[in-house]
Amino acid sequence: MALICPTPAVFLDKDGTLIDDLPYNVDPDKIRLTPGVAEALPLLTKAGYRLIVISNQPGVALGYFDQAALSQVEQRISTLLAGHGVRIDDYYWCPHHPRGTIPAHTAVCSCRKPMPGLILRAAQEHAIDLSRSWFIGDILHDVEAGRRAGCRTILIDNGNETEWLTSAERHPHWVVAGMREAVNVITAADPFYRLARRAAAPRQFERPCAECSDG
């Protein structure tokens, strides 16, 4: 039986982090990447990180759009990023809300951030090493979900967090102004990325893990 070597990931919130925050928008023509995303995410791809979107989509439970509409959102984001050499490995949506109007999606669940359910599911399905992974988001619910899952967390302080209800679980490891700064934090903390930069390797490199490395 082949040994699957866990890999690190960067989990990305969608609205306000990856794309402009337009509440309950599923119109592909209105989707725009946030400043710095097009320049920053290729660095994570080259460094060997999986890129996975984790997003609450209460508009499904509230009856604003069908869950099937999220497929066109995925397609639009993937198309925008593909033009910059970036591939999103997967998208995970929570369609629930405790005060929804659609009975099938009205629930208190373990997948709605700040709960870590979607991150844990993604880690299982993609063999992700959460201890070497990161969560980037623009509100403290993202931070709490990332910390509960065992990730390091980065808060993009762009004004979208307005309540600032803090606790140990909601304290980000780093606070930055935008995506480019967030990626700089990750690559600066990543010894494998630094080694690759010193070697000036023009290709994506293999990343050893504790189970697979001789030391």
- Domains in the chain: ranges and CATH: 7-28+51-125 (3.40.50.1000), 171-215 (no CATH)
Position 92: which residue type?
Y
Cβ–Cβ contacts within 10 Å for residue 106, how many?
15
Contact by Cβ (8 Å): 71, 28? no
Average pLDDT, the chain: 91
Question: How do residues 170-180 score in pLDDT, each as one tens digit?
Answer: 999 999 999 99
Contact by Cβ (8 Å): 67, 95? yes
Q: Which of 34-43, 141-150, 173-182, 201-210 has the lowest mean pLDDT?
A: 201-210
pLDDT exceeds cutoff 80 at 142: yes
Position 11: which residue type?
F
Q: Which two tokens stand for residue 39?
A: 């320049």
Q: What is the pLDDT of residue 194?
A: 59
Strand partners, 208: none
Token look-up 């996975």 returns: 52
C-alpha dist (Å) from residue 138 to 44, 98, 155: 19, 22, 5
The percentage of the chain sitting over the pLDDT mark of 70, rounded to a whole number, equals 87
Q: What is the pLDDT of residue 212?
A: 46
Tell me how far apart the 2 most distant CA atoms of the chain are, in Å. Answer: 56
